[in-house]
Protein backbone atom coordinates (compact mmCIF):
# COMPACT_ATOMS: atom_id res chain seq x y z
CA UNK A 1 0.00 0.00 0.00
CA UNK A 2 1.69 3.19 -1.17
CA UNK A 3 -0.93 5.65 0.08
CA UNK A 4 -0.40 6.88 3.62
CA UNK A 5 -3.44 6.96 5.89
CA UNK A 6 -3.69 10.41 7.43
CA UNK A 7 -5.35 10.28 10.86
CA UNK A 8 -8.71 12.04 10.82
CA UNK A 9 -7.65 14.27 13.72
CA UNK A 10 -4.66 15.52 11.70
CA UNK A 11 -6.80 16.88 8.87
CA UNK A 12 -8.21 20.42 8.76
CA UNK A 13 -11.94 21.09 8.90
CA UNK A 14 -13.18 22.49 5.59
CA UNK A 15 -16.54 24.28 5.30
CA UNK A 16 -18.96 22.13 3.28
CA UNK A 17 -20.27 25.28 1.60
CA UNK A 18 -17.89 28.20 1.03
CA UNK A 19 -18.74 31.91 1.25
CA UNK A 20 -19.91 31.86 -2.40
CA UNK A 21 -22.30 28.95 -1.74
CA UNK A 22 -20.13 26.37 -3.49
CA UNK A 23 -18.71 22.99 -2.54
CA UNK A 24 -14.89 22.75 -2.35
CA UNK A 25 -13.72 22.76 -5.96
CA UNK A 26 -10.36 21.11 -5.22
CA UNK A 27 -12.16 17.74 -4.86
CA UNK A 28 -13.81 17.92 -8.28
CA UNK A 29 -13.01 14.78 -10.26
CA UNK A 30 -10.73 13.55 -7.45
CA UNK A 31 -10.66 10.10 -5.90
CA UNK A 32 -10.79 10.30 -2.14
CA UNK A 33 -12.15 9.53 1.28
CA UNK A 34 -14.24 12.12 3.08
CA UNK A 35 -15.69 12.60 6.53
CA UNK A 36 -18.84 14.69 6.88
CA UNK A 37 -19.59 16.56 10.10
CA UNK A 38 -22.66 18.40 11.36
CA UNK A 39 -22.77 22.00 12.59
CA UNK A 40 -21.29 20.93 15.97
CA UNK A 41 -18.43 19.10 14.19
CA UNK A 42 -19.79 15.70 15.19
CA UNK A 43 -18.90 13.00 12.64
CA UNK A 44 -21.98 11.95 10.65
CA UNK A 45 -20.66 9.88 7.74
CA UNK A 46 -17.43 8.56 6.22
CA UNK A 47 -17.43 7.68 2.55
CA UNK A 48 -15.18 7.36 -0.47
CA UNK A 49 -15.68 8.10 -4.13
CA UNK A 50 -14.12 8.20 -7.58
CA UNK A 51 -15.50 11.76 -7.83
CA UNK A 52 -15.58 13.20 -4.33
CA UNK A 53 -17.26 16.42 -5.51
CA UNK A 54 -20.28 14.63 -7.02
CA UNK A 55 -20.64 12.43 -3.94
CA UNK A 56 -20.53 15.44 -1.61
CA UNK A 57 -23.19 17.17 -3.70
CA UNK A 58 -25.39 14.06 -3.50
CA UNK A 59 -24.97 13.88 0.31
CA UNK A 60 -25.79 17.58 0.67
CA UNK A 61 -29.10 17.04 -1.12
CA UNK A 62 -29.95 13.87 0.83
CA UNK A 63 -28.84 15.04 4.31
CA UNK A 64 -28.73 18.86 4.16
CA UNK A 65 -29.03 19.33 7.92
CA UNK A 66 -25.99 17.12 8.63
CA UNK A 67 -23.50 18.55 6.09
CA UNK A 68 -21.58 21.50 7.53
CA UNK A 69 -17.92 20.44 7.77
CA UNK A 70 -15.59 18.11 5.87
CA UNK A 71 -12.26 16.41 6.16
CA UNK A 72 -10.86 14.92 2.97
CA UNK A 73 -7.95 12.75 1.89
CA UNK A 74 -7.38 12.65 -1.88
CA UNK A 75 -5.53 9.66 -3.36
CA UNK A 76 -3.77 9.49 -6.70
CA UNK A 77 -4.77 6.07 -7.99
CA UNK A 78 -8.10 4.30 -7.56
CA UNK A 79 -7.78 1.42 -5.15
CA UNK A 80 -10.82 0.14 -3.30
CA UNK A 81 -8.50 -1.54 -0.77
CA UNK A 82 -6.79 1.76 0.10
CA UNK A 83 -10.08 3.70 0.16
CA UNK A 84 -11.71 1.13 2.45
CA UNK A 85 -8.63 1.07 4.70
CA UNK A 86 -8.74 4.83 5.15
CA UNK A 87 -12.50 4.78 5.81
CA UNK A 88 -12.13 1.96 8.37
CA UNK A 89 -9.23 3.72 10.06
CA UNK A 90 -11.21 6.97 10.42
CA UNK A 91 -14.30 5.20 11.77
CA UNK A 92 -12.11 3.30 14.23
CA UNK A 93 -10.37 6.54 15.26
CA UNK A 94 -13.78 8.10 15.89
CA UNK A 95 -14.48 5.42 18.50
CA UNK A 96 -17.93 4.57 17.19
CA UNK A 97 -19.62 4.13 13.87
CA UNK A 98 -21.29 7.35 12.67
CA UNK A 99 -25.09 7.15 12.16
CA UNK A 100 -24.60 7.65 8.41
CA UNK A 101 -22.52 4.47 8.23
CA UNK A 102 -24.90 2.53 10.47
CA UNK A 103 -28.66 2.95 11.02
CA UNK A 104 -28.99 5.89 8.60
CA UNK A 105 -26.84 4.45 5.78
CA UNK A 106 -29.71 4.34 3.26
CA UNK A 107 -30.50 8.03 3.89
CA UNK A 108 -26.91 8.89 2.93
CA UNK A 109 -26.37 6.44 0.07
CA UNK A 110 -29.67 5.81 -1.71
CA UNK A 111 -31.96 8.06 -3.75
CA UNK A 112 -34.54 9.89 -1.65
CA UNK A 113 -37.74 7.84 -1.52
CA UNK A 114 -40.47 10.47 -1.37
CA UNK A 115 -43.10 7.81 -0.64
CA UNK A 116 -41.78 7.81 2.94
CA UNK A 117 -42.71 11.49 3.39
CA UNK A 118 -46.11 11.53 1.74
CA UNK A 119 -48.79 13.52 3.52
CA UNK A 120 -51.92 11.75 4.78
CA UNK A 121 -53.85 13.25 1.84
CA UNK A 122 -51.24 12.06 -0.67
CA UNK A 123 -51.33 8.53 0.81
CA UNK A 124 -55.13 8.48 0.66
CA UNK A 125 -55.09 9.67 -2.96
CA UNK A 126 -52.41 7.11 -3.88
CA UNK A 127 -54.28 4.23 -2.22
CA UNK A 128 -57.48 5.39 -3.92
CA UNK A 129 -55.96 4.86 -7.35
CA UNK A 130 -56.72 1.22 -8.15
CA UNK A 131 -55.78 0.21 -11.68
CA UNK A 132 -54.48 3.42 -13.27
CA UNK A 133 -50.66 3.19 -13.25
CA UNK A 134 -50.38 6.49 -15.13
CA UNK A 135 -52.35 8.29 -12.40
CA UNK A 136 -50.13 6.69 -9.71
CA UNK A 137 -47.00 7.82 -11.57
CA UNK A 138 -48.38 11.34 -11.88
CA UNK A 139 -49.17 11.50 -8.16
CA UNK A 140 -45.69 10.20 -7.26
CA UNK A 141 -44.14 12.76 -9.61
CA UNK A 142 -46.06 15.55 -7.84
CA UNK A 143 -44.93 14.27 -4.43
CA UNK A 144 -41.34 14.18 -5.72
CA UNK A 145 -41.68 17.76 -6.99
CA UNK A 146 -43.00 18.91 -3.61
CA UNK A 147 -40.09 17.26 -1.77
CA UNK A 148 -37.63 18.62 -4.36
CA UNK A 149 -38.91 22.16 -3.73
CA UNK A 150 -38.54 21.64 0.05
CA UNK A 151 -34.92 20.49 -0.44
CA UNK A 152 -34.11 23.39 -2.78
CA UNK A 153 -35.59 25.82 -0.24
CA UNK A 154 -33.42 24.36 2.54
CA UNK A 155 -30.34 24.63 0.32
CA UNK A 156 -31.21 28.23 -0.54
CA UNK A 157 -31.49 29.03 3.19
CA UNK A 158 -27.99 27.58 3.60
CA UNK A 159 -26.75 29.91 0.85
CA UNK A 160 -26.02 27.13 -1.64
CA UNK A 161 -25.51 28.47 -5.18
CA UNK A 162 -24.47 25.15 -6.79
CA UNK A 163 -26.62 24.02 -9.68
CA UNK A 164 -28.85 21.21 -8.40
CA UNK A 165 -30.66 19.14 -11.02
CA UNK A 166 -32.65 16.06 -10.17
CA UNK A 167 -33.09 13.15 -12.58
CA UNK A 168 -36.60 13.68 -14.04
CA UNK A 169 -36.95 9.99 -15.01
CA UNK A 170 -36.90 8.85 -11.38
CA UNK A 171 -39.65 11.21 -10.21
CA UNK A 172 -42.49 9.02 -11.55
CA UNK A 173 -41.18 6.32 -9.19
CA UNK A 174 -41.26 8.77 -6.31
CA UNK A 175 -37.45 8.90 -6.16
CA UNK A 176 -35.11 11.90 -6.12
CA UNK A 177 -31.49 11.66 -7.15
CA UNK A 178 -29.15 14.11 -8.81
CA UNK A 179 -28.70 13.92 -12.56
pLDDT at 44 over 70: yes
Nearest to 147 by CA among 64, 69, 68, 67: 64
pLDDT tens for 129-174 read: 988 999 999 999 999 999 999 999 999 999 999 999 999 999 999 9
pTM passes above 0.95: no
pLDDT at 2 over 60: no
pLDDT tens for 79-93 read: 899 999 999 999 999
The three-class DSSP label of residue 176 is: strand
Ordered by start, the domain boundaries in the chain are: 8-109, 112-176
The pLDDT of residue 1: 42
Q: Which CATH fold topology does 8-109 show?
A: GIY-YIG endonuclease (3.40.1440)
**Average pLDDT across the chain, whole number:** 95
Cβ contact 37:69 at 8 Å: yes
C-alpha–C-alpha distance, residues 172 and 134, integer Å: 9
Amino acid sequence: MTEEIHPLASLEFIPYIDSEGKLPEFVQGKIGVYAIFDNEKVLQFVGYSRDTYLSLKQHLVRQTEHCYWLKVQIIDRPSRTILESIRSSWISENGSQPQGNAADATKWNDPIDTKTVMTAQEIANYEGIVADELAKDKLLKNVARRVENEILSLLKLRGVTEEIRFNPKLKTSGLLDLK
